[in-house]
Chain A
């Protein structure tokens, strides 16, 4: 009898501590989620007044940004972000896809063991280091090439640096997508007499398409959000770039450049810039999640 009673007490106390742990974890999870909610509320509260007083259209489509003169048009920065991001994809997609295909399909296991961690290491390099390399090597290179020219600080420099910075994202997620393609697809293709390359382009890539698209979109999100490296090499002029050699300012750079002395409506306009960025990354993440999720619809 004693034994049974003691056993019951033990079970009860174990249940109690289980419940406590569960609640502690729940609290931790909630605090993470509520942080997000609070950040959202805060940037909306700080940024919306100026959007409303300027009018959303004037704010998003205005071509002049001169806060000290009361002009808050974000369009040059929206275009700047779009140009630099597109440029980053032009650089990043071919390199990223080639890297992913090589690692997932072609490289011998030993090379793969060595190369994959190297690419993951790329993601671990602080962005200020990318920016510094860009400033010291890439910018002077662009400036001093006769065929290129311009000040060097340019959309081109930012695109190249960002194109390298998005590689770990694009390669990592693309490899996952390629590896998820069943082995039987490849075997079937090869059995029908297709070469390895024909199998990759004709069977594996189409089957992994959604995952690869998601990889590219997440890479885009990375490019849109990058700040430090871009500030250091893009030149940050508030203008519509006449060419890829012209300096541009991105939305993130706009906030980081001007935050130190901004007060009043100027500070609000920077928060409103944050709202625009927030919406862009929300949309990109949404699309990526949806594309990725729909992979299950592929027959197989």
Chain B
């Protein structure tokens, strides 16, 4: 008898604990005077934290959860500013004001020994679709192309899909998949036949960047839009930004804010 009473009590305790855990899973944003909440893109999160650290106009809380969650948070008001590292689809735009706070270029990379230094957008698309399989076709050595991509759901892949593949063209299922920019870079640096893509800030000297349609990714080329393979980093507010949110966005767009973004490898919103 005693034993079963103990077990019943323990069971009840765990059930209650699990229920209360469920209901408090989504943190409510704190919104007192001067405190603003940012939520969304994990790509934007580190930069937002940098801005928040330097900003003196009030307390900033940064929560990550992905661009889609950020757009939703801005729409339903659970965050003052939603962060998105991808362009909004038409259905998502209703009622939201978008502010581009920085631009992130996506660089196409190959092995340092690969003689191919430029590709057209069409060639790149056909390589990723699995239609071009040998480097010879695009002016390189007679070697099989090892196509490497990011995992489904990654913002970098989203942007690549959008600008390179376009609607209806899919990345070949035979492409190698990795979940880390750093890991992808390493894979490319090891395999002479490899091609991959990483964000501009992830470049290093052990790999080579390929010009797309004759344009190399660079800060000015990304900011001016000449290099098309890029994604906007967006702050989203319900209606025009006001009050504390407006003050923070103004800071982010100021010289100081943009310089910080540049130091982290992002391209500024516009070139002064």
Contacts and interface: CB of A to CB of B under 8 A. Distances in A.
Please say whether chains A and B are actual partners in one complex: yes
A149 B193 CA distance: 12
Contacts of A143: 191
Contact of A261 (B2, B7, B153, B193): B153
Interface residues of B, number: 36
A237 B170 CA distance: 13
A9 interface: no
Interface in B120-170: 144, 146, 151-155, 158, 161, 170
Contacts of A262: 153
A6 B68 CA distance: 72
B5 to A, nearest CB: 10
Contact of B173 (A23, A149, A239, A263): A239
A236 interface: yes
Interface stretch (A27-35, A175-183, A281-289): A27-35
B69 interface: yes
A153 interface: yes
A237 B191 contact: no
Contact of B158 (A68, A76, A260): A68
A236 B173 contact: no
B68 A237 contact: no
Interface stretch (B175-183, B198-206, B260-268): B175-183
Contact of A26 (B6, B176, B186): B6
A227 to B, nearest CB: 12
B176 A260 contact: no
Chain A interface residue number, banded: 35 or more
Report whether over half of chain A's contact residues are helix, strand or loop; otherwise say mixed. helix
Contacts of A69: 170
Interface string B1-12: 011001100110
A238 interface: yes
B42 interface: yes
Nearest to A238: B173
A89 to B, nearest CB: 25
B151 A38 contact: no
A137 to B, nearest CB: 11
Interface in A47-67: 65-67
B179 A256 contact: yes
B258 to A, nearest CB: 27
Given A236-B176, A237-B177, 9 more contacts: A23-B6, A67-B152, A68-B161, A246-B174, A247-B176, A257-B178, A258-B152, A260-B154, A261-B155
Interface of B: 2-3, 6-7, 10-11, 14, 18, 42, 65-66, 68-69, 144, 146, 151-155, 158, 161, 170, 173-179, 186-187, 190-191, 193-194
